[in-house]
Amino acid sequence: MATIERATKEDANVILEIQKLAYISEAELYNDYDIMPLKEDIETAVRSFEKNVVLKYFNEDGKIVGSVRAFGENGDCHINKLMVHPEYQNQGIGRKLMEEIEKYFNHVTFKLFTGSRSTKNIALYEKLGYKGYKTEKLDIEDTVFLFMEK
């Protein structure tokens, strides 16, 4: 049976591998393979556990195939790095991870951003009740992001 659990630093390597596979499709949308999720190194991934709640999704075979992380700050919950291994996408795993991460935070405004051309991601977030409120390019890369909240 598939399950979602809180990840530990020991899971960082596997999660980073999934991240690099999952974000290739984002890089292809923009023809930019220099996006931040593809450049993240293991030290940064491990450090993310200090600030974030990191969840992992196990498939029926006990293999980690998805993850999401989030942190709370000033009444907001910032959700980031939702990822599902490409072989397991379009099976509801991303939705389940989002629903589960939201349970860790109470009485907050949930915030996230995704590439403005990422129509599948935007559709998922809209189904979960998120609404876009601005588009903006960040200093870290050339992608124009859609910022969403719920």
DSSP 11: G
pLDDT at site 24? 96
Whether residue 76 is predicted with pLDDT greater than 90 in this model: the reply is: yes
Q: For residues 92-105, give the mean pLDDT.
A: 98
Using one digit for the tens of pLDDT, what is the confidence trace for 101-144? 999 999 999 999 999 999 999 999 999 999 999 999 988 788 89
How far does CA 35 lie from the centroid of its chain?
A: 14
Using one digit for the tens of pLDDT, what is the confidence trace for 1-36? 899 999 999 999 999 999 999 999 999 998 999 999
Whether residue 37 is predicted with pLDDT greater than 90 in this model: the reply is: yes
SS3 percent helix, strand, coil of the chain, rounded to 5, is 40, 35, 30
pTM of the predicted protein model? 0.94
Architecture category of domain 3-108 in CATH: 3-Layer(aba) Sandwich (3.40)
pLDDT at site 1? 86
pLDDT at site 140? 78
Cα separation, 84 vs 124, whole angstroms: 13
Picking from 61, 72, 51, 57, the residue whose alpha carbon sits closest to that of residue 18 is 57
Which three-class secondary structure state does DSSP give residue 113? strand
Tokens encoding 6: 């809180």
Q: For residues 44-70, give the mean pLDDT.
A: 97
Give the domain ranges of the chain: 3-108
